[in-house]
Amino acid sequence: MPETPRRARQVVTLSLVFGAVLLAGAATGAWGDPAAPHPRPSGDAAPAAVATVGAGQDPAGAALSEQQAEHLIGATGDRWGAYYSAREYAEFSQGLDGRYLGVGLSVGRGQDGVTTVSQVLPAGPAAAAGIAVGDRLLTIDADQADRLPVTEVVARLRGREGERQAGSEVTLAVRRGDGEVREVRLRRALLDSQQVAVERLDKGVVRITVRAFTSGVAEQVRAAVHGAHGVVLDLRGNSGGLVEEAAGTAAVFLDGGPVGSYQERGGTRELTAPPGGDQRTPLVVLVDGGTMSAAELLTGALQDRSRAVVVGGRTFGKGTVQQPSRLADGAVLELTVGRYYTPAGRSPEDVGLVPDVPASGTEDAGALALRVLAGLGTRT
């Protein structure tokens, strides 16, 4: 697999942080620069880094320069490893507090390779410019979106080095259906993340959209489910987040039992749901190629436990756990420490999860989810 550019790796890793040991993590509506080559440290950096840390050791407290840390990541072949200065990590960690810098939209990519807008934050810059869910994203700052990794598209939405400040601009070309191409210039802003959106439909059906697993999400989902006769849990474009929140969300729908497991240094941790969850209300989970990491853990748990019907497209395929360690100068080195597994022992790494009911490229997956839910009946 091609080496991931440093900036792309940083953004996606922080967006997908997963595990109780992690310091921070949230989806931020921003995904790095495939045209820019990965920085190549000088040849004498790797031996120094490896000698300082040692293979498999926790680098916490080590005196590593950025160059040494980057070379250590490259030497181990860690796809998701990343180095952050203290300032970078603090900026990205804002998501835990429910705020992030961006333009207020998320994107996804279907099997046809088309990049489309999957979510728009109300009152954000994208919404104010008239961008809507389903619009095709053609270019971002003059580069064709479909030719960029989706991680790079999101990184540019949030802003690359020197652009990560409120008021900085990004130019998009979008098209709705067969309409004309429209160029839109957006100014980034500090936004409230609003990770959970609830829509109450006819016959007691509730559609709950979870954009990322940040603090408090599980309780928001629990409150939304109360009194529902049927639930569509929409995880499309959900790039992961905190494992406690993903496991807590699974527990809303499970009466005890396994949720999954994940590795960390020193062993394996089992995730279990406490007794008392709602196992009666019909449930459909909606996923796509933007459903990642902790969102895949949740999906796999509900699928393996036969608690939900999974509808949509194959998920992203990130099944690894990263652990951040603070270095001597306050910077953070994040390294992969293992994989996580669903209750049936599956790892989504590289392959993703296959939905029970796949949506065709031209089919409205949201409408399909509602039809599947209707076929399950509703709780009375």
Q: Tell me, what's the pLDDT at 53? A: 57
φ and ψ at 94, to 5 degrees?
-60, -25
Residues 193 and 26: beta-carbon distance below 8 Å: yes
Lowest mean pLDDT of 26-35, 101-110, 342-351, name the range.
Answer: 26-35
Count CB-CB contacts under 10 A for residue 229: 17
Q: What is the distance of C-alpha 323 from the center of its chain?
A: 16
Q: Closest Cα to residue 28, out of 105, 122, 141?
A: 105
- Measure Cα distances from 150 to 29, 31, 191, 207, 237 in Å: 11, 6, 21, 26, 11
Is residue 258 within 8 Å of 345, Cβ to Cβ? Answer: no
Phi-psi group of 44: left, alpha or beta (phi > 0 → left; psi -120 to 50 → alpha; rest → beta)? alpha
Q: Cβ(238)–Cβ(15) under 8 Å?
A: no
How many residues in total does the chain contain? 380
Is it the case that residue 95 has pLDDT exceeding 70? no
DSSP-assigned letters across all residues of 184-243: EEEE-EEEE---EEEEE-GGGEEEEEE--B-TTHHHHHHHHHTT-SEEEEE-TT---B-H
Rounded-to-integer distance, Cα 251 and Cα 301, Å:
10
Q: What DSSP character marks residue 178?
A: T
Report in angstroms the alpha-carbon separations of 115 from 107, 118, 174, 179, 206.
Answer: 7, 9, 10, 16, 28
pLDDT at residue number 139: 96
Q: What is the pLDDT of residue 113?
A: 86
Alpha helix positions (H), the chain: 6-15, 45-53, 66-76, 86-92, 125-128, 150-158, 217-225, 243-252, 294-304, 365-376
pTM for the full predicted model: 0.67
Q: Which two tokens stand for residue 119?
A: 């979510």
Q: Using 50, 70 and 90 to split pLDDT, how confident is the model at 19?
A: very low
Q: Provide the pLDDT confidence category of residue 323 given band limits of 50, 70 and 90.
A: confident
Amino acid code (one letter) for 31: W
Percent of the chain with pLDDT over 70: 81
Residue pLDDT, tens place only, 37-61:
222 222 233 334 444 455 567 788 8
Q: Which residues are CB-contacts of 119 (< 8 A; sequence separation ≥ 6)?
A: 105, 106, 133, 209, 211, 236, 237
Radius of gyration of the chain (CA): 20
Residue type at 69 in one-letter notation:
A
Report all structural domains of the chain as residue ranges with CATH numbers, in order of start.
Answer: 6-97 (no CATH), 101-192 (2.30.42.10), 196-319+339-375 (3.90.226.10)
- Output the pLDDT for position 338: 85
In terms of pLDDT, which residue wins out, 51 or 266? 266
